[in-house]
C-alpha cells in the first residue's frame, strides 16, 4: 500500500490544530519519573521527542493533584517545578513538529495508604475495589477506602481545572481526561463502587455527573477543542469489581450522546480486549466502534489491538477518524515511518515497561528507511 492510499497517513484537522497524520501515540505509563518531586525529566523529553512523527502524542497518565497519586514514578502537573519540567517536554516535541496532549488521571479508591502517610485513599463510596494497588513496595491488595464528601468532589474537579491551566502554561496542545477502568471516573460510573445516595450516585445521570462537571470546569480555562476524554467501556479482566453490568451500555450511550453538546477535540474509546460473547455487553461485540459512531457525532479516536491494516480500514470505512497505538509505540518511536515504508515492527522488552531508566525507553532505534524505501514488507501483528 502506498502512502497516498493509507488513510492513517492523511492529515486531520482537530479544531484549530492540524495533525500531520491520524496515527496517535496512546498514553503509556513508563515509570521513569524517579525523583520524589515527580518532575518530568530530560530523559522523558528525549523519549517523547523521538515519537514526534505521530500525528498526536498523548502523554502517560499524569497526576492532577497529590491526592490523585496511585502508582510509582509517575509525573504530576500540580507544582511549578512539574510545569517547568513539562515545558521541556512540550518544547522538545514541538521542535520536532509534533503535537502533544497531557493525560490527566486520578486513581481514587485503587490508590493505597502508603501514598498518604497511612490515611485512606478516597473515592465515590467506602467500598474496596478488590484489585491491586501499585505501591512503592510493589503490588498490594486494595483497601476499603473513604467516601468523598461532596466538598471533596468539588475540590477534585477544581484540581482538574488547575491542572488544565498548568497544562496550558506548560505548552501542551490539549488535555485528555483519563477515564479508563480502574481510575476515579469509572469508579463513579459503576454501580458496584458507587453506592452514593446524593446527586453523584443512583441514576446514570447522577453517576456520570462528575464527568460533565469536570468538563464544565475545564471549559472555563481552555477551548473545548483542546479537551478530550478516554474510556474503556468494556474492560473485563483485572478490573476488580468494576465489571460490565446491565447499566454499562446505557451509561456509555448517555455519556456519548451528552458529549455531543461539548464539541470536544475527540472522544477516545478503547475497544474490547477479549470476546464479549456470553457477557452482559455481548451486544457490543459486533462492530464495537460503530455503536459509538452512531451516538457520537464528533471526532472519534479508536484504540486497542489495531494493526496498520485494521487502522487504515477503520478510517477508510468512516467508523473512526483517528487511531491510537499503545504497545507498538514502546519499541517503535518511528511508527509512522514504519507504516509509510512497510517496515517490520520492533518488539518491546515488556520487563522494561515500567522500569529501567533509558533501557527499554529511549534506546529503541529508528529503522534505516533507505533500506526499506522501495520495499514491500508487511508490518502487521
* Segment contacting ligand FMN by CB under 6 A, of 7-15, 252-260, 292-300, 319-327: 319-327
Nearer to ligand FMN, 75 or 127 (CB): 75
360 touches ligand FMN (CB under 6 A):
no
330-359: contacts with ligand FMN (CB under 6 A): 353
Closer CB to ligand FMN, 212 or 353, in the complex = 353
Which of 157, 221, 304, 345 contacts ligand FMN by CB under 6 A? 304
Check residue 270 for interaction with ligand FMN (CB under 6 A). yes
Asked if 159 interacts with ligand FMN (CB under 6 A), we say: no
Distance between CA 136 and CA 341 in Å, rounded?
42
Residue the block writes with cell 498518604: 116
Residue 168, beta-bridge partner list = none
Cell numbers for 148: 468523598
**With binding defined as CB under 6 A, does residue 63 bind ligand FMN?**
no
Closest CA to 183 of 124, 125, 109: 109
CB nearer to ligand FMN: pick between 25 and 153: 25
SS3 112: coil
Separation between Cα atoms, residue 25 and residue 100, nearest integer Å: 9
Residue of the chain from 33, 190, 303, 312 that contacts ligand FMN (CB under 6 A): 303
Residue 111 to residues 104, 119, 176: CA-CA distances in angstroms? 15, 11, 21
Cα–Cα distance, 138 to 144 (Å, whole number)? 19
314 sits near ligand FMN (criterion: CB under 6 A): no
Nearest distance from C-beta of residue 238 to ligand FMN, angstroms: 12
d(CA 280, CA 277): 8
Nearer to ligand FMN, 254 or 353 (CB): 353
Q: State yes or no: residue 289 binds ligand FMN (CB under 6 A).
A: no
How many angstroms separate the CA atoms of 212 and 157, rounded?
A: 10
From residue 9 to residue 48, what is the string marking binding to ligand FMN with x (rule CB under 6 A)?
-----------------xxxx-------------------
The residue whose grid cell reads 478530550 is 228
Residues 208-237 interacting with ligand FMN (rule: CB under 6 A): 230
Judged by CB under 6 A, the chain residues 102 through 121 that form the site for ligand FMN are 103
Residues with Cβ within 8 Å of 227's Cβ and at least 6 positions away in sequence, in order, are 164, 174, 175, 177, 215, 218, 219, 262, 264, 265
Which residues lie near ligand FMN (CB under 6 A)?
Answer: 26-29, 60-61, 103, 178, 180, 230, 270, 303-306, 325-328, 353
Amino acid at each position: 500500500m502506498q502512502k497516498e492510499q493509507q488513510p492513517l497517513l492523511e492529515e486531520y484537522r482537530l479544531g484549530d490544530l492540524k495533525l500531520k497524520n491520524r496515527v496517535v501515540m496512546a498514553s503509556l505509563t513508563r515509570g521513569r519519573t524517579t525523583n520524589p518531586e515527580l518532575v518530568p525529566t530530560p530523559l522523558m523529553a528525549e523519549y517523547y521527542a523521538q515519537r514526534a512523527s505521530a500525528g498526536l502524542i498523548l502523554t502517560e497518565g499524569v497526576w492532577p493533584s497529590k491526592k490523585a497519586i496511585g502508582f510509582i514514578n509517575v509525573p504530576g502537573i500540580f507544582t511549578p517545578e512539574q510545569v517547568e519540567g513539562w515545558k521541556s517536554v512540550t518544547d522538545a516535541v514541538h521542535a520536532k513538529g509534533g503535537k502533544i496532549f497531557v493525560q490527566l488521571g486520578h486513581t481514587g479508591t485503587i490508590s493505597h495508604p502508603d501514598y498518604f502517610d497511612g490515611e485512606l485513599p478516597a473515592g465515590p463510596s467506602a467500598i474496596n475495589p478488590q484489585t491491586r494497588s501499585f505501591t512503592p513496595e510493589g503490588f498490594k491488595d486494595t483497601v476499603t477506602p473513604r467516601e468523598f464528601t461532596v466538598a471533596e468532589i468539588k475540590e477534585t474537579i477544581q484540581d482538574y481545572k488547575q491542572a488544565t491551566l498548568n497544562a496550558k502554561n506548560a505548552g501542551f496542545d490539549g488535555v485528555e481526561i483519563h477515564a479508563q477502568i480502574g481510575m476515579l471516573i469509572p469508579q463513579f460510573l459503576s454501580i458496584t463502587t458507587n453506592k452514593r445516595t446524593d446527586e453523584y450516585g443512583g441514576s446514570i445521570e447522577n453517576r456520570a455527573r462528575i464527568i460533565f462537571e469536570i468538563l464544565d470546569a475545564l471549559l472555563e480555562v481552555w477551548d473545548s477543542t483542546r479537551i478530550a476524554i478516554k474510556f474503556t467501556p468494556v474492560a473485563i479482566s483485572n478490573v476488580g469489581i468494576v465489571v460490565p453490568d446491565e447499566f454499562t451500555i446505557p451509561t456509555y450511550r448517555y455519556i456519548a450522546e451528552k458529549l455531543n453538546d461539548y464539541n470536544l477535540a475527540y472522544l477516545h474509546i478503547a475497544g474490547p480486549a477479549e470476546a464479549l460473547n456470553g457477557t452482559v455487553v455481548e451486544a457490543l461485540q459486533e462492530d464495537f466502534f460503530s455503536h459509538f459512531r452512531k451516538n457520537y457525532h464528533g471526532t472519534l479516536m479508536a484504540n486497542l489491538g489495531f494493526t496498520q491494516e485494521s487502522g487504515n480500514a477503520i478510517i477508510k470505512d468512516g467508523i473512526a477518524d483517528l487511531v491510537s497505538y499503545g504497545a507498538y509505540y514502546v519499541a517503535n518511536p518511528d511508527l509512522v515511518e514504519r507504516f509509510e515504508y512497510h517496515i517490520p515492527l520492533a518488539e518491546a522488552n515488556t520487563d522494561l515497561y515500567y522500569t529501567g531508566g533509558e533501557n527499554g525507553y529511549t534506546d529503541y532505534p529508528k529503522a534505516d528507511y533507505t533500506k526499506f524505501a522501495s520495499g514491500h514488507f508487511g508490518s502487521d501483528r
